[in-house]
Amino acid sequence: MTAPTTTTGPGGDVTGPHLTDADVVVVGGGPAGSCAALVAARAGLRVVLLERGPFPGSKNMYGGVVYPRILDQLIPQWWTQAPVQRWITRRSTMLLTDTQAMSVDFRSQAWAAAPHNGATAVRPEWDRWLAEEAAAAGAQVVCSTTVTGLLRDGHRIVGVRTDRPDGDLTARVVVACDGVNSFLAKQAGLYEHADAAHYTVGVKETLALPKATIDERFNVRDRDGVDIEILGGTGGVNGGAFLYTNLESVSVGVVLKVPKLAAQQRRPEEIIAALKAHPAITPLVDGGELVEYSAHLIPEAGLAMMPKVVADGMVVAGDAAALCLAAGIWLEGVNFAMASGMYAGESVVEAVRAGDVSETGLAGYRRRLADSFVLRDHRKLRRAPSLVLSDRVQHRYPPMIANTIERMFRVDNPAPKPGLRRILAEERKRAGVRVRDLARDAWDAMRTFG
Amino acid sequence: MSATGGPRSASTYPSLPFTERMATVEFRVHDRAHIVVDAAVCRDCSVRGCVVACPANLFVPTADGGIVFNYEQCFECGTCYLACDREGAITWSYPEGGHGVVFRHT
Ligand SMILES: Cc1cc2nc3c(=O)[nH]c(=O)nc-3n(C[C@H](O)[C@H](O)[C@H](O)COP(=O)(O)OP(=O)(O)OC[C@H]3O[C@@H](n4cnc5c(N)ncnc54)[C@H](O)[C@@H]3O)c2cc1C
Ligand code: SF4
Ligand code: SF4
């Protein structure tokens, strides 16, 4: 691999040395941007990574669990150096009503050993680490720099404008990894329309607790950790909730559909307070001292909102391309960001080497996404976001299920035990669920998750 | 019937004053307001989705029916411009590089 200071390849669109400031400008030092920069820099391209925060990760917030296996391809034995809080060995899915809780609790000690499955990590550490990896590969990481727009030559994108003095930066390809609000993808006309219904807002509290207290309350030892995904507990606003263990803190928060949140009266921090007051949650978080309150948007609608990901001179990766899988009990974005960033980097290298950075030359990106888990998982789970966030799943099924189980386990002597089928029928009616809808949703769930 | 909309008033969890909540977050405030709210457009808005939805509680209704907005303690999340459906009410951009919110434990 050689650093192409001049391009003389067939069809090369650049003939002199350094006609652009960089071969590649990557916007955004999140997981997508750092992986894109890492790959392009390793291939010998001149890469500049721009981040508006004072350090990579300083603007980024999420629930708390990364699934880093895609890094096997980029950083061998990544688990020996990644800034991990705990390795997830227990994963619970919890259903909450006002007074009830039901959990499906899974534990695998296999996940405590390399190469692991999920890990809790905090983004100011995780994102900074990944950006350092990109820098070590030769990318120039420039922080405290906000990109304010795209530079164009006709319809070709040829660089970015920043808020620095003389801040224009030309490049052969711009990789937009600027996150969920992606003003770059919008400015390039890649989003048809931004519909508020496609977004949820995540709001969380990081609560400090001693390690021994966390170990005891969550039934884990050493670096083992717990991931609890919650349906219900969002104050009647469509969404979900979560509770994760860091080493010496827990992350507790809610994810709320923006238009639904805006159309009711309870504020996000009040919804979190009610969640923490739930009898199933209080014993886990009690006494935790608030060390940070935070909020961030999530692109929630999957394939339904995905923009075009390639333009002349630009590709879009990560949340900027809505490549986030937020489908109920799945909340995965960092892995999709790292993977799409990696594929964006590979495709850019290919295009620059071939001397064609047009939409056609960059088409390998779309192909790589389609052939990998990135688009396959999204296609497989394409019905999940609307199903999981539907009014029935959110408001009617949880009490129906919890009440059914409560009556099944209730010992009402001298009354004899009722049959399960009768209880179910009664609770279904009480929850106002029609058989037809229940059957359809069950069928949808089978097709989606099956 | 809502699964979670029932009585919740008797929260056993001690509530933290909002200013203390926001004091846990670091903000490197720039002189320029990165978000500007046009009070004239807000004046006859009855929806007021911003007031309940902004996680930082930066949209404050005034006694005379207006909205006061402070940009300093903003998460830069984007919820407000999505929640508001009035053209021209919110002009939204990111702060200058190196400024605004700095997360540490997220
Ligand atoms: C509440 C919540 C919970 C979540 N839980 C999980 C979870 O448990 N597991 C998981 O895998 N995913 C989770 N996600 C999703 C995950 O956080 C995202 O999918 C992921 O961060 C996307 O990475 P990215 O690199 O595409 O974007 P980001 O991480 O958002 O990075 C974008 C970067 O670009 C920078 N930037 C933006 N605009 C500009 C500009 N104009 N100029 C310069 N720099 C700019 C930003 O400062 C930022 O550093 C969650 C998200 C939220 C909000
Ligand atoms: S910002 Fe939008 S939602 Fe809020 S008061 Fe003004 S017009 Fe209404
Ligand atoms: S961007 Fe987020 S924190 Fe800032 S004013 Fe808007 S809703 Fe509030």
pLDDT at position B6 is 37
Tell me which chain B residues have a C-beta less than 8 angstroms from the C-beta of A180: 78
CATH number at residue A131: 3.50.50.60
d(CA B3, CA A402): 10
Does residue A311 form part of some domain?
yes
Q: Locate B87 and state its tokens.
A: 């053209």
Does one domain contain both A212 and A269?
yes
Helix axes A334-354, A373-380, angle to 10 degrees: 130
H-run or E-run covering A370 = helix A364-371
Does one domain contain both A307 and A219?
no
* Per-residue pLDDT tens over the stretch A169-209: 999 999 999 999 999 999 999 998 779 999 999 999 999 99
Residue A110, number of CB atoms within 10 A of its CB? 9
- ipTM for the whole complex: 0.93
- Yes or no, beta carbons of A59 and B103 under 8 Å apart: yes
Does residue A7 form part of some domain?
no
Query: Is 80 exceeded by the pLDDT of residue A337?
Result: yes
* Per-residue pLDDT tens over the stretch B59-84: 999 988 899 999 999 999 999 999 99
Does residue A76 form part of some domain?
no
Q: Is B72 on the interface with A (CB under 8 A)?
A: no
Query: Is 90 exceeded by the pLDDT of residue A167?
Result: yes
Tell me which chain A residues have a C-beta less than 8 angstroms from the C-beta of B11: 273-274, 276-277
Does residue A216 form part of some domain?
yes
User: Where a domain ends, among A263, A280, A299?
Assistant: A299
Q: Please report which confidence band the pLDDT of residue A141 belongs to, taking 50, 70 and 90 as the band edges.
A: very high
CATH number of B31-96: 3.30.70.20
CATH number at residue A241: 3.30.9.90
d(CA A161, CA A169): 6
- Yes or no, beta carbons of A59 and B21 under 8 Å apart: no
Does one domain contain both A42 and A126?
yes
Closest protein CA for atom 32 of ligand 1: A179
Does one domain contain both A114 and A242?
yes
Q: What is the pTM of this model?
A: 0.94
Q: Please report which confidence band the pLDDT of residue A17 belongs to, taking 50, 70 and 90 as the band edges.
A: low
- The average confidence (pLDDT) of chain B is 88
- Yes or no, beta carbons of A123 and B24 under 8 Å apart: no
Q: What range defines the domain where residue A107 resides?
A: 84-120+197-299
Locate the ligand 2 atom nearest the alpha carbon of residue B37 and give its number.
1
A169 forms beta bridges with A160
Q: Is A149 on the interface with B (CB under 8 A)?
A: no
Q: What angle is formed at CA B42 by the lines to CA B40 and CA B47, rounded to 5 degrees?
A: 160
Interface probe with B: pick from A27, A61, A146, A276, most Cβ of B within 10 Å: A146
pLDDT at position A329 is 72
Q: What is the mean pLDDT of residues A353-364?
A: 98
- Per the structure, the count of domains in chain A is 3
Does residue A37 form part of some domain?
yes
Domain boundaries, chain B: 31-96
Does one domain contain both A101 and A235?
yes
User: Where a domain ends, among A299, A314, A344?
Assistant: A299
Does one domain contain both A210 and A228?
yes
A250 forms beta bridges with A207, A245
pLDDT at position B14 is 56
Q: Please report which confidence band the pLDDT of residue B13 belongs to, taking 50, 70 and 90 as the band edges.
A: low
User: Where a domain ends, among A353, A381, A409?
Assistant: A381
Q: What are the distances in angstroms from CA A380 to CA A372, A444, A445?
A: 12, 12, 11
